[in-house]
Structure 1
Amino acid sequence: MDVRLLLESTLTGLGYELVDLEMTAGGGFRVFMDKAGGITVEDCVTVSNHLTRLFMVENVDYERLEVSSPGLDRPLKKESDFVRFSGQLAKIKLRAPIEQQKKYSGRLAGFEDGSVKLEVDGRIVIIPLANIDKARLEPEF
């Protein structure tokens, strides 16, 4: 069974978005979720209880389940993430360099034709989504 697909459909049905899933060394799952307006402790408890019952019914073997918000430095993975957070600061690490550089920090300026637009020092850098190794929001205070 594909746990990621199971989580994606279940969380969507509950009104949440699956941001990320990590599998821990001891056979556990870390589920990061989000929703408009942010995640509360009550949201985490509700989803944790629901997933515990779901995993029992679906015979998903695990040692530990952690459910949380993605935090202020939320990972960006999908096209919709880059669109949703347009205008915010982000750090992006590339698989292959663009302009002899693999790490960028700048303001998200949209998504077009399979590429992220990132404003860096007053210019726009075009980064193909397939070339992104890791991307995270950079909190502004």
Structure 2
Amino acid sequence: MGKTQEIEELIERELDQLAIELVGIEYRRENKEQMLRVFIDSEAGVDLSLCSQATRAIKPVLDDRNIYYDHLELSSPGLDRILRKDKDFLRFRGSMVKIKMLKPYQGPRKINGILVETDKAKIQVRVEGEVMELPRELVSMVRLYPDY
């Protein structure tokens, strides 16, 4: 298990108890310092109060497990959030997305369209009235595209 996955598993339980969704984390070095970014969401949205509440819940867990970081940052995933989990794809079905494909894909590398459906094998997206089926293993990234 990688460090990122370990951290996600540790803090997800704490956040679930507060009805806060863990969207994802970044755990990496930036400017010679270890950065831990935690992206959260909730039904009511994300504000400073929610970030403070989440910080108070996860900091003791991280410290008890000696997870090293120089900076801990909590924030919303933003309007252009990356869709990672199956529940993200279900929640944002019908939304405009921007998809980046891996090099082996025989077609356009960047695709903008409406998210139609997804399963373990494929992502369906409507582009100019036509539904495209994209092999999920060749999808590099799916991001909400609210500015379209």
Normalising to structure 1: TM-score of the pair?
0.89
- Paired residue for 2:24? 20
Report how far residue 113 of structure 1 moved: 5.2
Does the Cα contact within 8 Å between 2:10 and 2:61 map onto a contact in 1?
no
Alignment of 1:21-100 (within 5 A): 21-25=25-29, 26-96=33-103, 98-100=105-107
RMSD over aligned CA atoms reads 1.8
Residues 12/130 of structure 1: CA separation in 2 closer, same or farther (3 Å cut): farther
| Matching residue's letter, 1:47 | A
Report how far residue 114 of structure 1 moved: 2.9
115-124 vs 48-57, which moves further: 48-57
Instruction: List alignment gaps of at least 5 residues for structure 1.
Output: none
Report how far residue 9 of structure 1 moved: 2.4
Report how far residue 11 of structure 1 moved: 1.9
Report how far residue 73 of structure 1 moved: 0.5
Question: Alpha-carbon deviations, 1:34-72, whole Å to 9, x = none?
Answer: 122321211001111222222122221111100001010
CA distance in 2, matches of 1:61, 1:113: 34
20-29 vs 110-119, which moves further: 110-119
SS in 2 for 1:86: coil
32-41 vs 102-111, which moves further: 32-41
CA distance in 2, matches of 1:115, 1:12: 29
Report how far residue 27 of structure 1 moved: 1.0
Report how far residue 76 of structure 1 moved: 0.4
48-57 vs 68-77, which moves further: 48-57
SS in 1 for 2:109: strand
Residues 123/70 of structure 1: CA separation in 2 closer, same or farther (3 Å cut): same
Does the Cα contact within 8 Å between 1:82 and 1:116 map onto a contact in 2?
no
Does the Cα contact within 8 Å between 1:111 and 1:117 map onto a contact in 2?
yes
Which of the residues 96, 116, 123 maps onto 2:123? 116
